[in-house]
Amino acid sequence: MVVATAFPPVAQALDAQQEATPVLAGRVEKGGVSVPDATVVLHRVTAEAAGEIDSVRVDTAGHFSFELPSVPDPGGRGEVYFASVRYAGVLYFGAPIHQAVQLDSLYTLDVYDTVAAPGGGADLAVAVRYIVARPIEGGWEVADLFEIANAGTRTLVPIEDGEPVWSYPLPAGIRDPTVGEGDVSPEASSIADGSVHVTAPIPPGQRRLVLRYFLDALDLTVPLPGSTVQMELLVREPAPPLEVTGLVPAESIPMGQGVTYRRYTGADFLDAAVAVVPGADTDGLPARNVAVMLALVLALGGLWAYLRGSPGARASTDGSVVLKSRAASVGPAGPERGSASPSRRSLLLEIALIDQALEDRGTGPGEVSDLRRRRSVLVRRLEDFG
């Protein structure tokens, strides 16, 4: 362990960088006030390995610094540095450093006081929910991505060891659910009694949880208890006709050469549900044409509601859509809703689609490498949001 006796000012750190000795200089803070008693650990992640490489005690003003063994990613090697600190029993991570220019700013590690979640878990809003389905032999594989929002100022911790900090019901009839890559590790979560349970501390801000499961058919009801700010269903084509209650059709999304995802979207749900059932072509019309016609009807309905001066729309408790004056704003192209910015939502969506592509056995080795590289870049950009 290296003990810091004095903190080099940022200007000195920058001078050191100019002499080809990259320095990560930072401070541990709680609510904008320095934390004087903490140990900071430096981590490095490369394509070959990942782990801790150094540690240091902060000074009396909460400052710390590390001399990095290399300039972050000067030649596109993909290496990443980040720091962590444990405070009040909770481990906090700083933003990833993957470009030298990021060393020009003071690196901040934010920590928080804790509060015990109520029994059964806290009632947290879901800022973003993406359900991405692709056909496989004998059914469908689904990636279900949540972004949970802790809007408070304290880190939520279990009221007792093993008790959930957050629980959420899953659709009935799913098979073999598992926890995938995200901010919540499989060791800190479990799936039981038809729900996912997270036992890891949840700091203020947003955290990703990714689930994977299988369906025999695209026939499911998705419960949305509490508040869900944004939800989208994406189905890889070719896909059968579907009837989706609670979401409206939107423009399909291309993903790679010859791959598209049919898309349904909605916003501002409160104690609602979304139902997906097999549908049928209407009067021989292609399902895509029916979806376009339905979207037009919904848009005209929203315009009529606006002209009549009706209040804004949201999903009702039975999952149906109640049109209102601003119904046309649903989707990434619309105005901002809730705490997830359009850029953040687009990053989450692309990560989910890449994860599905990586599961596709038809994806070639070269394409897999490109997809993994692209995913790493997207995750780093997502973490830059904090």
* Local confidence pLDDT in tens for the 386 residues of the chain: 333 434 445 445 444 444 568 999 999 999 999 999 999 999 998 877 789 999 999 999 999 999 998 888 766 666 889 999 999 999 999 988 888 888 999 999 999 999 999 999 999 999 999 999 999 999 999 999 999 999 999 999 999 988 999 999 999 999 999 998 778 888 889 999 999 999 999 999 999 999 999 999 999 999 999 999 999 999 999 889 999 999 999 999 887 778 899 999 999 999 999 999 998 754 434 444 444 444 444 443 443 333 333 333 333 333 333 322 222 223 333 333 344 455 666 677 777 777 766 666 555 665 666 666 666 666 666 666 55
Distance CA(15)–CA(150), nearest Å, equals: 39
Cα(187)–Cα(195) distance, rounded to whole angstroms? 16
DSSP string for 318-335: TS-EE--TTGGG-STTS-
Q: Which is it for the CA torsion 290, 295, 297, 298, positive or negative?
A: positive
Which secondary-structure segment (H or E) carries 29? strand 23-30
For residues 35 and 87, the answer to whether their CB atoms sit within 8 Å is yes
Contact (Cβ atoms closer than 8 angstroms) between residue 147 and residue 179: no
Q: Which CATH architecture has domain 2-111?
A: Sandwich (2.60)
Cis-peptide into 9, omega within 30 deg? no
**Residue 149 β-bridge partners:** 125, 206
Task: Kindly provide the residue ranges of all beta strands, DSSP E only, lying in 47-199, ordered along the sequence.
Answer: 50-57, 63-67, 80-87, 90-93, 107-110, 114-116, 125-136, 139-150, 155-157, 166-169, 175-179, 189-192, 195-198
> Domain locations in the chain?
2-111, 126-147+207-383
**CA distance to 230, 251, 265, 268, 333, per residue, from 329 (Å):** 12, 14, 11, 11, 7
∠ CA 37-42-48, nearest 5°, is 160
Alpha-carbon distances of 118 from 121, 190, 224, 226, rounded to whole Å: 5, 18, 20, 15
